[in-house]
Amino acid sequence: MDRFEAMRAFVAVAEAASFAAAARLLGQSPPAVTRAVAALEDRIGARLLHRTTRRVRLTDAGARFLADAKRIVAELDEAEASAAGAHSAPRGQLGLTAPVMFGRMYVAPIVLDFLARHPA
């Protein structure tokens, strides 16, 4: 796993205070996220998280590292979006849930208009 993905995993774990929740957010398995954070800690040479069976919390080194890691991950996302022109066209998946009548009366016309303007 590369450094940026390991950093992204660390930020997700720190924000969610859980490896399992971070894994769900990242679309990865909990063991993969655990390995990524462990590899990052090995690379840095410092323990970033206190782990117990019940919770995860930042160490002092982890708290100092988190601010920089968040900034770096945000800047990387921004650079990738800028290079890909992500602001020019919508991308990804969108899930909607609504009661049937509300969906038919209000959501469906909006979705149809959106699909007409942005064909897949």
Which of 30, 79, 81, 74 lies closest to 56 in space, CA to CA? 30
pLDDT at residue 119 in the model: 77
Nearest to 46 by CA among 54, 55, 37: 37
What confidence score (pLDDT) does residue 86 get?
56
Mind giving me the DSSP string for 72-119?
Answer: HHHHHHHHHHHHHTTTTS--S-------HHHIIIIIHHHHHHHHHHS-
Global pTM? 0.69
pLDDT tens for each residue of the chain, 120 residues long: 689 999 999 999 999 999 999 999 999 999 999 999 999 999 999 999 999 888 899 999 999 999 999 999 999 988 888 887 755 666 777 788 889 999 999 999 998 998 888 776
Q: Given this model, what pLDDT does residue 89 score?
A: 67
Place of tokens 């708290």: 63
The DSSP H or E segment spanning 29 is none
If one counts every other C-beta atom within 10 angstroms of the C-beta of residue 119, the result is: 5
Question: What's the CATH fold of domain 3-84?
Answer: Arc Repressor Mutant, subunit A (1.10.10)
Residue type, 36: A
pLDDT of residue 54: 83
Hey, where are the domains in the chain? 3-84, 89-120
* pLDDT value of residue 88: 66
Q: For residue 87, what pLDDT is reported?
A: 58
